[in-house]
Structure 1
Amino acid sequence: MTPDQITLIQDSFAKVAPISDAAAEIFYARLFEIAPEVKPYFTNDMTEQGAKLMATLGVVVKGLRDLDKIVPVAQQLAVKHVDYGVKAEDYAPVGASLIYTLEKGLGDDFTPDLKDAWTEAYTVLSGVMIEAAYGQAAAE
């Protein structure tokens, strides 16, 4: 990720944060639509789950300029998610749902450059998470 991409991501997330409840609803609705097999992973209150998602995303976005601090947290989170039944292949629909949510939430502000920046960030972090949870072969 370039410094400009990080700036784009952080600026765009600042626009999403005020609509975090709606963004979380869009995210999970889309995720369950394109990957219904992941729905059983979510047994808690979805409003609470959405708040956790947005809080975690906020921490990651804020820390993108210091990946050395974010990566270990992301790795721990990935390992923990294995206990919930999450598989390596579940990361792709999560990424697609994230991009969809940003596109819907930001409207015309979701430019191709912004999409590329978010896609790059998700690809990097999900790769690290998949490797931590499932090994190098799964991350490739």
Structure 2
Amino acid sequence: MSPQQIELVRLSWQQVFPLRETAAQMFYERLFELDPSLRPLFKADLSQQAAKLFDTLNALVASLGENGALETVAGPLRRSHAGFAATPAHYEAVGAALMWTLQASVGKAFTTSTRAAWREAYAQLSSAMQVDRGAAAAAAAAR
């Protein structure tokens, strides 16, 4: 990501983070609208999951531009999400819900450039979380 994109993500995140409880609720409502099949994967009380989501996004934003830092964020998530059989479609739904939540939280300040910067940040994270997918599928097929 370019320094300008990193700055756009960080500036918009400063606006969203104080609203994290409301934004997390909006995110999950939107996610379950986009893909209702995901709802059973989450506990009835989403407060702990919401805290994890915002901790992850906060770590992502803090790691932008730092060599190797993305793996520190993505590695544990990759392992935990593999147990849930997360698919590329799930990551797409999460990305769409995230963009919608950011737009709703930041409003007009969520410009086309800011959206593109967040898409890049999320693409890097989701790609890093799915990096072992091909190897895991090949191993499962070989069994």
Taking only aligned residues, the RMSD between alpha carbons, in angstroms, comes to 1.8
Q: How does 1:8-23 map to 2 (within 5 A)?
A: 8-23=8-23
Q: In 2 relative to 1, CA 121–137 (structure 1 residues): closer, same or farther, beyond 3 Å?
A: farther
Tell me whether 1:77 sits opposite 2:88 in the alignment: no
**Counterpart of 2:65 in 1: which secondary structure?**
helix
| Structure label with greater radius of gyration | 2
Distance in 1 (CA, whole Å) between partners of 2:135 and 2:114 is: 28
- Which blocks of at least 5 consecutive residues in structure 2 are unaligned? 138-143
What is the TM-score with the length of structure 2 in the denominator? 0.88
What corresponds to 1:105 in structure 2? 105
Larger RCO (CA within 8 A; separation ≥ 6): 2
Select the structure that is richer in helix.
1
The aligned counterpart of 1:37 is 37
Q: Which amino acid in the other structure matches residue 73 of structure 1?
A: V
Deviations 1:26-56, CA, capped at 9 Å, x for gaps: 1000000001111111025201211111111
Structure 1 segments (4+ residues) deviating >3 Å:
none
Q: Alpha-carbon deviations, 1:68-115, whole Å to 9, x = none?
A: 122243033122112123223210000000000000000111100000
> How many aligned positions are there?
137
Aligned identity (percent) is 39
TM-score, normalised to structure 1, is 0.90
